[in-house]
């Protein structure tokens, strides 16, 4: 299960993603989620991680739209990244970086100016 906590309405319309090898991971998905905590469930290969990477703007869909509150995620990924936190199940860290340095690095990427 992938837990999702929503503080703003998430609206996904007609979202599709097919990989170069022909695997259709998302096929015309329509989804509306209000505020609260939700779980994204499905078998391996169902498209859960593809959906989360697309919402997090780590990859682009072939078609469709994603609105997070008033933010058009696919057109304004800077604004959406300021509001969205995403931690994938398999998260590679930098082995020679301390936990404090890693947190400082991610804070800088999110736009926080000082420790």
Print the domain residue range for 61: 2-109
Any domain includes 91 = yes
Look at the chain and report how many structural domains it folds into: 1
Say if 12 falls within a structural domain: yes
Domain CATH number, residue 32: 3.40.50.300
pLDDT in tens, the chain (115 residues): 666 666 788 999 999 999 999 999 999 999 999 888 788 888 988 999 899 889 988 899 999 999 998 999 999 988 887 777 766 666 666 677 788 887 887 787 777 776 5
pTM (predicted TM-score):
0.72
Inside any domain, residue 114: no
Residue 50, in any domain of the structure: yes
Report DSSP letters for 30-84, one per residue: EEEE-SEEEEE---TTSSHHHHHHHHTTSS--SEEEEEETTEETTT-HHHHHHH-
Asked whether residue 115 is domain-assigned, the answer is no
| 24 lies in some domain | yes
Which two tokens mark 89? Answer: 């199940």
């Amino acid at each position: 299960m992938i837990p999702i906590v929503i503080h703003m309405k998430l609206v996904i319309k007609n979202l599709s993603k097919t990989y170069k090898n022909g695997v259709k991971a998302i096929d015309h998905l329509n989804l509306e989620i209000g505020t609260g905590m939700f779980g994204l469930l499905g078998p391996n290969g169902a498209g859960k991680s593809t959906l989360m990477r697309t919402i997090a703007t780590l990859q682009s869909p072939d078609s469709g739209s994603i609105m997070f509150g008033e933010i058009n995620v696919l057109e304004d990924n800077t604004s959406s990244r300021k509001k969205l936190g995403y931690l994938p199940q398999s998260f590679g860290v930098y082995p020679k970086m301390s936990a404090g340095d890693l947190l400082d690095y991610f804070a800088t990427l999110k736009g926080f100016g000082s420790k």
